[in-house]
């Protein structure tokens, strides 16, 4: 029996409100001095920080109790949803939890504790093994018809890693709460406990969690334990212990017991306990924004830190800059702060959208702060990689006639050229700030006739806007300028993998001097009835509001539709009523006519005009997929709005992107006596593919988390509009899944956006490489902007700074970042295929480098070896390969 509290940090109250109760709870625990007494703080370390915010004077005592084992917390930073975040975000969660526990001089229980997550990714056993955990505790997601009737099973990942999973009873972590002290009541309670637990027990060891949501330690727990122990004798021995002690006993029992084996995701609790799979579409825009922020940290911040470390020994050596600029040594701590704030939005009640509106508004504010931090971290890391002296540069004047530098970023682990999205800055005037600025005459921004050129690079102008831009330095006040920001797409020569290429710009009104004869182009052909967009791979025809797609010799007609269906459910469970309404296309407008980008915008409306959606179909030169930019306005309540791609498969196999590699997806089947209807949708990371008879159709999305695969269609949820946290009258799930509370903000009234895509291709040995490459092209295109303070590179040779390049069929980059120990970088790749792959990282120079193969937590698995620029490795089927790279210390 383990005494615990299940601590939803925010849910039907805000985090600040629940923190008031947490302080009282922990004060009471710390005041008790009973020998051998233990208390579990729900497997998450953030509760310790929340407590210390109010009680900083008790930090030493808190640390002492953690070190002694009478108080347990971690290994997680927060008890996050496990299906929506990326695999790397799950790792960052464990790393942040470990930092907090280590700060207090302790270690977490050796258990991957997941007591209330709405399902679990197939890679969780690999993650457990990568952090040295042999035991996992789960509840939701297991127990359905697809799983064995057992409280213990061997959960195996696709790479062969496994963990011994203990499955909580149907009532979960609260099954042993409020134990009675009277003998008769204790005997009755024990009979019920025994009836439930013994029937599924596999090992002879049973975990009884004494606690529940936000419950303080039971005051008479010692008396209750004595009563239950008496009632259980001689059938069972009841011991009060720490979670750590349970893990030791459970592991010992598992070694002597043949356990059933479970593989894949845990998303089926139907007939056992509530699965609550409907949260994937709730507050969809927050989930999308989370994915964008994760991607920004992982692919547009961390690689530039690694780039600076790889190229600049002075950056590696400098801890503090005397002029106050940010150093490479300071960036990891700042990065950790940004990650921790993003992780604070990952608890299932928060990220899944099943909380009150006050919690959702707090999540919006946290996401705003993370976005701001991410931009600052990115700029600081790029400045270090480019060796830009921002203090010296701030002293230089800038005018419209000055040549300026454009920095193009390649956020993929392979070298790429082609279409890039650029922001080119035209300086219009200096704008003063302060009392003297009151005397400034109004600025005439003039006619937008300036067309910048990038040295030898073909451009297509997309639009411009006037804004203010500041140049900042730790030794100066900001210099505030009025600028015109020109959006262009450009055909860029190859940019190194995870690297930079710097071009020079010069103002020139004669944009006609640019020729496109030597680059790929896209064409637009208009007739009285049709608009056709095509490059040499993709052809899109828009006719009378219908979209046809041709690619690779295949043709799909009427491929796109927008549908709304009534949903009277709550934040946990959909309750769909009636037939869907298909929105009508009311307008078609050609927006861009090439030569590098062609786009046509279709506007869709509902019959009552309370839903309006714009879908901009984009075909770029040499693109392998159809891109669709979505924006819309929702004024309808209680419905679900989906974008649906028509496919030509009647009975497809569905494979979808997930944490650390793809999974095959099936819709679970609930037993006849299930108290919950099956939700047919599935988690959506970057893509979902339908396969049939050698052909494939893949749908991409930039962060919306709910997808659906059915015969002849792939769909993504744009909006799920509901107004109640929990309803008790749903035929799909009778009873309340949470505390009833109106949530009018979850009606999602107002604007929404998304970026999605579709690709027709073949199901061959290179399918996963093709899909991975297309996902990077859609979600992480080549991009860049004017750096007005950066020295212009000598022409005609642009500056290039190369990062690590990944080679190997079926391999995909997972992380390129600084090592947690601060002594090098981490290169992590995932083998997406079911075959062993010989791969290598190509580093930008010969080092010499010292390379160590590690676990996910950076614990060495092999002895360090000396390598030059080519770092070879063997990746087993579906294996996650982590390499620690440091510099050889020369005598």
Neighbouring residues of 701: CB distance < 8 A, sequence distance ≥ 6: 684, 686, 687, 707, 716, 754, 755, 756, 757
Q: What values do phi and psi take at 89, rounded to 5?
A: -65, -35
Q: Tell me: pLDDT of 758 over 50.
A: yes
Quick: pLDDT tens for 815-874. 999 999 889 999 999 999 999 999 999 999 998 999 999 999 999 999 999 999 999 999
pTM greater than 0.85: yes
How high does pLDDT run on average in the chain? 95
Cα–Cα distance for residue pair 792/732, rounded to 1 Å: 63
Q: Report the DSSP pairing between strands 554-556 and 546-551.
A: antiparallel
Q: What values do phi and psi take at 576, rounded to 5?
A: -80, 135
User: Residue 432: which pLDDT band, with cuts at 50, 70 and 90?
Assistant: confident
Mean pLDDT for 409-418 is: 98
- CATH fit for domain 280-387, picks 3.40.710.10, 1.10.3720.10, 1.20.1270.50, 1.10.287.70: 1.20.1270.50
Q: Tell me: pLDDT of 511 over 80.
A: no
Q: 392-435+446-519+787-801 in CATH: which number?
A: 2.60.40
Quick: pLDDT tens for 25-48. 999 999 998 878 999 999 999 999
Mean pLDDT for 593-597 is: 96
- For residue 330, give the DSSP letter: T
**What is the three-state SS of 570-585?**
CCCCCCEEEEEEECEE
pLDDT of residue 512: 39
Quick: pLDDT tens for 608-649. 999 999 999 999 999 999 999 999 999 999 999 999 999 999
User: Residue 401: which pLDDT band, with cuts at 50, 70 and 90?
Assistant: low
pLDDT of residue 513: 45
2-273: CATH topology is: 7-stranded beta/alpha barrel (3.20.110)
User: Residue 482: which pLDDT band, with cuts at 50, 70 and 90?
Assistant: very high
Q: State the residue for tokens 């793809």.
A: 662
pLDDT of residue 642: 98
Quick: pLDDT tens for 95-149. 999 999 999 999 999 999 999 999 999 999 999 999 999 999 999 999 999 999 9
User: Residue 514: which pLDDT band, with cuts at 50, 70 and 90?
Assistant: very low
Beta bridge partners of 800: 501
User: Residue 397: which pLDDT band, with cuts at 50, 70 and 90?
Assistant: confident
The domain limits of the chain are: 2-273, 280-387, 392-435+446-519+787-801, 523-763, 805-887
Mean pLDDT for 760-764 is: 96
pLDDT of residue 798: 67
SS3 290: helix
Cα–Cα distance for residue pair 225/858, rounded to 1 Å: 41
pLDDT of residue 445: 76
Mean pLDDT for 151-179 is: 98
Give the gyration radius of the chain's Cα atoms: 29
User: Residue 889: which pLDDT band, with cuts at 50, 70 and 90?
Assistant: confident
Q: Tell me: pLDDT of 321 over 60.
A: yes
Cα–Cα distance for residue pair 325/380, rounded to 1 Å: 9
Neighbouring residues of 762: CB distance < 8 A, sequence distance ≥ 6: 552, 694, 695, 696
805-887: CATH topology is: Immunoglobulin-like (2.60.40)
Q: Report the DSSP pairing between strands 584-593 and 597-605.
A: antiparallel
**Do 509 and 451 meet the contact criterion of CB atoms below 8 Å apart?**
yes
523-763: CATH topology is: Beta-galactosidase; Chain A, domain 5 (2.70.98)
Quick: pLDDT tens for 710-752. 999 999 999 999 999 999 999 999 999 999 999 999 999 999 9
Considering only 429-443, 689-703, 812-826, 828-842, which range has the smallest mean pLDDT? 429-443
Q: Can the peptide bond before residue 857 be classed as cis, meaning omega within 30 degrees of 0?
A: no
Q: Report the DSSP pairing between strands 459-473 and 452-454.
A: unpaired
pLDDT of residue 398: 82
pLDDT of residue 612: 98
| Ramachandran region, residue 172 (left: φ > 0; alpha: ψ -120 to 50; beta: rest) | left
Domains 392-435+446-519+787-801 and 805-887 share a fold: yes
- For residue 713, give the DSSP letter: E
Quick: pLDDT tens for 529-570. 999 999 999 999 999 999 999 999 999 999 999 999 999 999
| Ramachandran region, residue 802 (left: φ > 0; alpha: ψ -120 to 50; beta: rest) | beta
**Do 15 and 362 meet the contact criterion of CB atoms below 8 Å apart?**
yes
Q: How many CA atoms lie within 13 A of 87 on its CB side?
A: 25
SS3 15: helix
pLDDT of residue 508: 55
pLDDT of residue 437: 79
Cα–Cα distance for residue pair 632/605, rounded to 1 Å: 10
């Amino acid at each position: 029996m383990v005494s615990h509290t299940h601590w939803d940090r925010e849910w039907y109250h805000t985090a600040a409100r629940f923190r008031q109760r947490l302080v009282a709870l922990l004060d009471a625990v710390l005041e008790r001095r009973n020998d051998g007494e233990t208390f579990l703080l729900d497997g998450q370390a953030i509760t310790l920080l929340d407590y210390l915010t109010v009680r900083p004077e008790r930090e030493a005592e808190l640390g002492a109790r953690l070190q002694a084992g009478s108080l347990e917390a971690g290994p997680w930073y927060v008890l996050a949803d496990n299906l929506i975040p990326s695999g790397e975000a799950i790792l960052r969660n464990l790393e942040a939890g470990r930092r907090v526990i280590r700060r207090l001089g302790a270690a977490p229980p050796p258990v991957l504790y997941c007591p209330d997550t709405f399902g679990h990714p197939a890679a969780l056993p690999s993650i457990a093994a990568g952090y040295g955990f042999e035991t996992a505790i789960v509840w939701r997601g297991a127990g359905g018809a697809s799983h064995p009737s057992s409280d213990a099973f061997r959960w195996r990942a696709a790479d062969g890693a496994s963990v011994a999973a203990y499955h909580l009873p149907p009532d979960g972590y609260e099954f042993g709460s409020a134990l009675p002290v009277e003998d008769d009541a204790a005997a009755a309670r024990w009979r019920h406990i025994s009836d439930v637990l013994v029937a599924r027990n596999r090992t002879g060891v049973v975990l009884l969690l004494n606690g529940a949501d936000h419950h303080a330690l039971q005051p008479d727990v010692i008396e209750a334990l004595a009563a239950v122990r008496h009632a259980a004798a001689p059938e069972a021995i009841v011991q009060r212990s720490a979670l750590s002690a349970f893990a030791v006993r459970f592991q010992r029992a598992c070694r002597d017991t043949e356990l059933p084996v479970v593989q894949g995701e845990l998303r089926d609790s139907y007939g056992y306990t509530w699965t609550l799979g409907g949260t994937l579409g709730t507050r969809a825009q927050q989930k999308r924004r989370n994915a964008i922020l994760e991607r920004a940290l992982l692919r547009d911040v961390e690689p530039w830190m690694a780039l600076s470390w790889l190229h600049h020994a002075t950056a590696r050596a400098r801890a503090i800059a005397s002029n106050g600029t940010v150093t490479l040594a300071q960036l990891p701590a700042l990065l950790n702060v940004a990650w921790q704030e993003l992780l604070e939005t990952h608890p299932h009640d928060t990220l899944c959208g099943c909380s009150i509106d006050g919690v959702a508004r707090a999540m919006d504010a946290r996401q705003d702060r993370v976005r701001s931090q991410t931009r600052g971290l990115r700029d600081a890391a790029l400045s270090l990689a480019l060796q830009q002296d921002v203090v010296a540069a701030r002293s230089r004047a800038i005018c419209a006639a000055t040549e300026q530098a454009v920095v193009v970023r390649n956020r993929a682990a392979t070298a790429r050229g082609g279409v890039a999205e650029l922001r080119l800055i035209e300086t219009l005037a200096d704008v003063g700030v302060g009392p003297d600025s009151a005397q400034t005459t109004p600025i005439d921004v003039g006619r937008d006739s300036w067309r910048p050129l990038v040295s030898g690079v073909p451009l297509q102008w997309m639009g411009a806007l006037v804004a203010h831009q500041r140049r900042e330095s730790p030794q100066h006040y900001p210099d505030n300028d009025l600028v015109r920001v020109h959006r262009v797409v450009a055909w860029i020569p190859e940019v190194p993998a995870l690297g930079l290429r710097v071009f020079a710009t010069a103002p020139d009104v004669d944009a006609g001097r640019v020729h496109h004869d030597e680059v790929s182009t896209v064409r637009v052909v208009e007739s009285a009835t049709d608009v056709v967009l095509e490059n040499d791979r993709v052809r899109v025809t828009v006719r009378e509001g219908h979209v046809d797609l041709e690619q690779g010799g295949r043709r799909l007609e009427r491929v796109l539709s927008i549908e709304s269906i009534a949903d009277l459910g709550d934040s946990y469970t959909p309750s769909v009523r009636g037939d869907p309404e298909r929105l009508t296309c009311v307008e078609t407008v050609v927006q861009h006519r090439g030569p590098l980008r062609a786009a046509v915008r279709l506007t869709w409306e509902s019959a009552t005009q309370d839903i309006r959606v714009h879908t901009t179909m984009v075909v770029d030169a040499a693109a392998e997929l159809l891109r669709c930019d979505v924006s819309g306005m929702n004024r309808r309540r209680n419905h679900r709005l989906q974008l649906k791609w028509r496919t030509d498969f009647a009975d497809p196999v569905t494979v979808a992107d997930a944490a650390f590699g793809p999974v095959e997806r099936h819709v679970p089947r609930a037993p006849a006596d299930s108290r919950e209807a099956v939700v047919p949708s599935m988690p959506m990371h970057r893509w979902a593919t339908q396969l049939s008879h050698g052909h494939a159709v893949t749908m991409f999305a930039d962060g919306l988390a709910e997808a659906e695969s059915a015969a002849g269609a792939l769909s993504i949820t744009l909006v799920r509009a509901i107004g109640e946290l929990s309803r008790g009258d749903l035929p799909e799930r009778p009873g309340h899944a949470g505390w009833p509370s109106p949530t009018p903000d979850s009606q999602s009234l107002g604007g929404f956006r998304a970026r999605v895509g579709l690709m027709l291709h073949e199901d061959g040995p290179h399918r996963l490489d093709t899909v991975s490459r297309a996902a990077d092209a859609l979600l992480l295109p080549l991009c860049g902007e004017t750096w007005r303070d950066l020295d212009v590179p000598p022409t005609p040779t642009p500056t290039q700074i190369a990062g690590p390049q990944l080679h190997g069929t079926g391999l995909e980059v997972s992380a390129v970042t600084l090592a947690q120990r601060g002594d090098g970088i981490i290169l992590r790749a995932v083998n997406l295929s079911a075959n062993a792959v010989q791969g290598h990282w190509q580093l930008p120079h010969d080092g010499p480098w010292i390379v160590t193969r590690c676990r996910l937590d950076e614990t060495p698995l092999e002895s360090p070896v000396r390598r030059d620029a080519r770092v070879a490795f063997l990746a087993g089927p579906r294996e996650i390969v982590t390499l620690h790279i440091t510099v050889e210390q020369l005598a």
